[in-house]
Structure 1
């Protein structure tokens, strides 16, 4: 059966859709969509093929956009995306995740919402903001945002979230109660005797390994980590990387030991690829060893960054890997990172990259 790969790109000026056949050599780009709203995260529900885009800002307000025809037409709704009167208004939707027949949205200031009607209306998952640590949460560089949403693939009661700069939190009862899951991750910006707090770490990206829901990978402001017990304990896997600082991570869809990263040169050195030479770093053994993949990527004068949600894989064999840059370039590999092509240029700043494989 013929397959089509759809790459969903969220940017500061709308959503874009790049399409190719399963060979992934020739690409067609469509957009911008969503009336050029800032689109922080554009995702697809693999069960239905519906595309959702979360975005907005303090001028537009928050909303979730929706397309049921691969981006040809869109609607949007913000019904219920608000905190009670007197609380700080929601500025934008930052992350989306579909699972178990519902849709979750992470927002700024950090909070979690759920929709049971395909994004038409939203309900606040109040338990997260009722966590005792909430009064002490502090914003990261982009604000106090809930940017990582990781539902358990088989247990709808379990969800992990990443908040900058509060850390990782987990619920086992559908959001009624939450606990911190930050043991072992550093907060180098804190005083030396406070560098392993219960919360307050600046998590950048959180992803789950395929087939092993307790295997989580985390790119943090202060290191790269792996957990094999659902985040109860984290272990550093940054040895061999050019930097402990970066934003995105992308899991292989079938191999729990394979992960893709794009490290940057540090939080105070420009936040671009080290030495101006682009590379995606891959591990095949759960972070014990790393390999730099450079073929086809710019190896001089490359001073771009790649943001926390701007890297993804597809589910084909061999796996496709994709990332978008702060300079508006979209790169793609059809062979698990061995070779790269620039498939789109001069887009607005790319905020997110996700994929959908369509059969038939």
Structure 2
């Protein structure tokens, strides 16, 4: 056991946590992973499934019961791990909840929707980390990872906000809400920074990892978010594994948010556009404002030419944002007031890419499912209509 990297992942019997463990088990590096689960029974069922899925792996998984909302549960888990292996090399704080949808469904009060999430996502994570720190400091290469996201000011300020424009009036009619969850993740980012600065002389590498918009059971809304274009949780698993295995060591003390796309995805996109439209990728200098198709290709070309060795791009959502940024760059008459146009296009762009690109085989479908030129024209017509309306008012 001493030669293996010993990792502990909280909240890992399903969702992103499950995929993190799966990614570690599939690694060619040696791991023994503690699967933290509130329910020992559900954890054992998940571990059995993992062992079948990773039957060829020599890496191992062990279930440990831990509920991070309970101090006594955390303390008990600590004693078990201490007696078993005496150290951990990597602590991955993945466990988290949201009560926002419970509030919308009338199950909890507005106050409870916020305090309930804070108790687990912030207080629980802090107590878990604080308690297990003596075991982490026994490692020769200690790593501390917080799973975060939807709480970054820079992303939200640039228009990557998880809400469409809402109608006037109060209260707003909401079918999906994440405000409490987002606030806890913002707090978690600060918690990461606090540990980063406190542990610098101890040699502990600390990160926040935001795996992006993924389809998990968070808030019992897997089907809803999947329909909105959420990616597979395995994206998060691979991201975290890359941090554990040293690919982000230059970025310790930072928040790594899934923003760009996997190079393989970009290659698939290039294949699709070149084969389906017989259109080679054009350099940025040849781009014209009238074609969304050209803009997408320009984004792909820029991504391919850029060295992302320090940011390891992953998701389609990032490509959609990159396309939106290209629209802003090329169409100089679009200003920040028109960011709602760009935001509105992002979900459609994601839909275009998801439906038109075969990610597994890198083969295009027989025919396109959406006219991307029409998509661009509709967005610009919408912009022109609003400008005309403002002109009439003035």
Normalising by structure 2, report the TM-score. Answer: 0.27
Normalising by structure 1, report the TM-score. Answer: 0.29
Higher strand share: 1
Higher helix share: 2
